Amino acid sequence: MRSFPGQDLVQKFSGALFWRLVPRGRNASSSKPDIKICIQCPGSVQNLSEVALYCKQTSDLMLHARCCLNRKGTILGLDLQNCSLKDPGPYFPQARTAIIIDLQANSLQGDLANTFRGFTQLQTLILPQDVNCPGGINAWKTITSYINNQTCQEQRNLCNSTGDPEMCPENGSCAPDGPGRLQCVCAEGFHGYKCMRQGSFSLLMFFGILGSTTLSISTLLWGTQRRKAKAS
Amino acid sequence: MAWPNIFQRGALLSQFSHHHVVVFLLTFFSYSLLHASRKTFSNVKVSISKQWTPSAFNKSIELPVEIWSSNHLFPSAEEATLFLGTLDTIFLFSYAVGLFISGIVGDRLNLRWVLSFGMCSSALVVFVFGTLTEWLHFYNKGLYCSLWIVNGLLQSTGWPCVVAVMGNWFGKAGRGVVFGLWSACASVGNILGACLASSVLQYGYEYAFLVTAAVQFAGGIIIFFGLLVSPEEIGLPGIEAEENFEDDSHRPLISGAENEDEAEPNYSIQEDKTITQVKAISFYQACCLPGVIAYSLAYACLKLVNYSFFFWLPFYLSNNFGWKEAEADKLSIWYDVGGIIGGTLQGFISDVLQKRAPVLALSLLLAVGSLVGYSRSPNDKSINALLMAVTGFFIGGPSNMISSAISADLGRQELIQGSTEALATVTGIVDGTGSIGAAVGQILPV
């Protein structure tokens, strides 16, 4: 990812400019972006599903096709039950912010270990009966087996339980990366490639001090030394 | 034993005006800044080598590519280290070539313009090398090599110019002490570079390059507006006019023959000189002067060791003892402290004894012992710093002496009286041979 001094300023300006140019309607549904995962499967959120319950009990949430969205358009719930899916599909990572996902009544094949990469907010996952919870029993507080589904609840943060103090390179720290997964991100205060950099260098102050010092010393020396020098 | 003139002549201090002080300080700090930006590269070797390589972490945990392994300029740290050594060698070779050229060509141009041009353009090259490539995330081996070659050529303008300017302003009287103090500028530059680099290293190695390049550029501007190349520029008498008043010539300590008062050659290098006859001395004639070849070869061997320390000390400390790079940078300062004390003290002793060679020989013999001792240093910062200072004393001392006082002696022998270009040419030869020796030493282990 490119970064240069002043990048955040540029981003802020371009962001502000963008929202001025794009008209924002009062009606939420007219400005919703076209989220492919929500419309991939025909139909809408089933009335009695867990996703519907979750969506109704929290205010400020709205249903859109198969998704439960908040004001900003972030997916918080996804209901893909009975969709004849063999795998969640290429657009599934769009739902990585989801808190509740329902995948029951699909004939899912293959290992789901890599499908839930980045799903750090997921607290309730309903899978078909024959599919195991990603990460196994270590990754979830409660796994319940029902007649037609398996419910995994309350994702565990495995950083605390794996007791290895050196699990990340220097200046990195452990962070969850989805159910049963861990990743190394930069520790607090560190950034950049390999987290080598810390803090931010104030270019303005440095060049201000250097410039004024150079100017004053040059003027002083020119006045005392070179003013009477013959042209050379 | 003869105490240096500085003790016998109270009139010495009165002949130094504020112009002399300013020239001393300006030339001192301009060469210090040049050396500081050279030193920056060796101070950030660990960080640069980390930036160029992917992470070699071998655990089962997931490492996001953009943070840990997106840069593949070199597949491993060993390859990156080899390339860093190659860059050092390239720099030294082009620096040596540049020195030979500058020693011959520099006399024909205005020293002030050459020095400030060299400082400012070298600062720009260092900025592009270290800071711009990182900001644009453009890493390219060919670019690094060519930039470093250009940097070597530009930096080589510094030393002959500052020596010539000092030669214009400071004549025979008190030369040993003045040059002895002045020759500490390289070590002071190393210390300055280490301090600057270690203080901003946490923000990223690109800021270490930015800071030293910016300060060097500012120095170039100050030189341009404040440096007087010779006393004639403002109408003061040159050193040859002043030294005609002296009745006791402070002879160069290399030649042993008794001398009558000789007409002082004028070091001023303006083209419209009419006071003295300017006789050129050719490169071949300069090489054939007694002592030049011997001291050049000795300096080559000595600079080999000195520059190995100069280029690799922080990297060695960081890798061998596991210390953090900023700490290793700060600790490597002690080597230069030893060098400053060694140069000044040994220069003073050789002035008193009126012989340079015995002091040098003894110091270099003891240097062998101190190197062995340093290689066995324990993992304790205080003991390591002490051993480092001792080693610096025995190696840096002769190095400072040869490059300054002895070059001045060699360039002032009675065999070449009446020639002004000898000093710059001889300085170029001695330092150029030294740099070639240092460059060869970088590729020896390979």
Residue A209 falls inside a structural domain: no
Asked whether the predicted pLDDT for residue A30 surpasses 50, the reply is no
Residue-level pLDDT at B263: 35
**Running DSSP on this structure, what letter comes out for residue B62?**
B
| CA–CA gap between residue B271 and residue A11 (Å, rounded) | 57
Nearest to A218 among B135, B203, B222 (CB): B222
Measure in Å the smallest separation between the Cα of A9 and chain B Cα atoms.
Answer: 16
Measure in Å the smallest separation between the Cα of B119 and chain A Cα atoms.
Answer: 14
Residue A230 falls inside a structural domain: no
Angle between helix axes B422-443 and B77-105 (nearest 10 degrees) is 170
Residue B387 falls inside a structural domain: yes
Of A16-30, A47-61, A120-134, least confident by mean pLDDT is A16-30
Looking at chain A, the whole-number percentage of residues with pLDDT higher than 70 is 83
Residue-level pLDDT at A15: 54
Structural domain range at position B324 = 16-53+74-235+280-443
In chain A, the residue whose alpha carbon lies closest to the alpha carbon of B272 is A232
> Same structural domain for residues A100 and A188?
no
CA distances from A82 to A14, A104, B330 (A): 42, 7, 66
CA distances from A191 to A171, A200, B345 (A): 9, 10, 47
**Which token pair is B113?**
């313009």
| CA–CA gap between residue B235 and residue B180 (Å, rounded) | 28
Structural domain range at position A115 = 36-156
Per-residue pLDDT tens digits for B145-199: 999 999 999 999 998 888 888 878 886 555 666 777 888 898 899 999 999 999 9
Per-residue pLDDT tens digits for A170-210: 888 888 888 888 888 998 999 999 999 999 999 999 999 99
Per-residue pLDDT tens digits for B362-384: 998 999 999 898 888 888 889 99
Nearest to A222 among B200, B225, B233 (CB): B225
Residues A162, A182: contact at Cβ < 8 Å? yes
Name the 3-class secondary structure at B377.
coil
Assess B213–A contact: CB distance below 8 Å, yes or no.
no
Nearest to A182 among B62, B71, B207 (CB): B62
Nearest to B234 among A169, A196, A228 (CB): A228
> Same structural domain for residues A112 and A175?
no
> Same structural domain for residues A45 and A133?
yes
Domain count, chain A: 2
Residue B268: its chain A contacts at CB < 8 A? none
Name the 3-class secondary structure at B233.
helix
CATH number, domain with residue A183: 2.10.25
> Same structural domain for residues A105 and A135?
yes
Residue B101 falls inside a structural domain: yes
CA distances from B65 to A92, A120, A164, A165 (A): 21, 18, 22, 22
Decide the pairing of beta strands A150-155 and A124-127: antiparallel
pLDDT top residue among A6 and B110: B110
Residue A207: its chain B contacts at CB < 8 A? 214
Residue-level pLDDT at B260: 37
In chain A, the residue whose alpha carbon lies closest to the alpha carbon of B201 is A197
Residue-level pLDDT at B200: 94
Residue A84: closest CA among A67, A103, A66, A59 = A103
Mean pLDDT by 10 residues, chain B (446 residues): 48 72 93 93 91 85 84 90 92 91 76 92 96 94 96 92 83 66 88 92 94 96 92 79 50 43 39 45 78 86 87 87 86 90 83 81 90 88 91 88 72 60 73 87 72
Residue A208 falls inside a structural domain: no
- Cβ burial B417-443 (10 Å sphere, 16+ → b, else e): ebbbbbbbbbbbbbbbbbbbbbbebbe
Residue B69 falls inside a structural domain: no
Residue B248 falls inside a structural domain: no
> Same structural domain for residues A193 and A141?
no
Measure in Å the smallest separation between the Cα of B45 and chain A Cα atoms.
Answer: 13
Domain count, chain B: 1
Residue B254 falls inside a structural domain: no
Q: Single out the residue in A156, A179, A212 at which a domain terminates.
A: A156
> Same structural domain for residues A105 and A195?
no
Of A87-96, A216-225, B2-11, B355-364, least confident by mean pLDDT is B2-11
Contact A228 B235 (CB under 8 A): yes
Q: Where are the beta strands (DSSP E) in A50-138?
A: 62-64, 67-69, 75-79, 100-102, 124-127
Q: Single out the residue in A156, A186, A211 at which a domain terminates.
A: A156
Residue B2 falls inside a structural domain: no
Assess B19–A contact: CB distance below 8 Å, yes or no.
yes
> Same structural domain for residues A68 and A180?
no
Nearest to B137 among A2, A197, A230 (CB): A2
> Same structural domain for residues A82 and A192?
no
H-helix segments, B202-332: 205-226, 239-243, 283-288, 292-321, 325-331
Residue-level pLDDT at B240: 66
Residue A197: its chain B contacts at CB < 8 A? 202-204
A100 strand-pairing partners: A77, A124
Residue B111: its chain A contacts at CB < 8 A? none
Assess B112–A contact: CB distance below 8 Å, yes or no.
yes
Contact A232 B214 (CB under 8 A): no
> Same structural domain for residues A122 and A56?
yes
Residue A228 falls inside a structural domain: no
CATH number, domain with residue B420: 1.20.1250.20
Interface confidence (ipTM) of the complex? 0.78
In chain A, the residue whose alpha carbon lies closest to the alpha carbon of B21 is A225
Residue-level pLDDT at B173: 54
Residue A217: its chain B contacts at CB < 8 A? 222, 226
| CA–CA gap between residue B173 and residue B175 (Å, rounded) | 5
3-state DSSP helix/strand/coil percent for chain A, to nearest 5? Answer: 30, 20, 50
For chain B, the residue count is: 446
Task: Kindly report the average pLDDT of chain A as a whole number.
Answer: 82
Residue B267 falls inside a structural domain: no
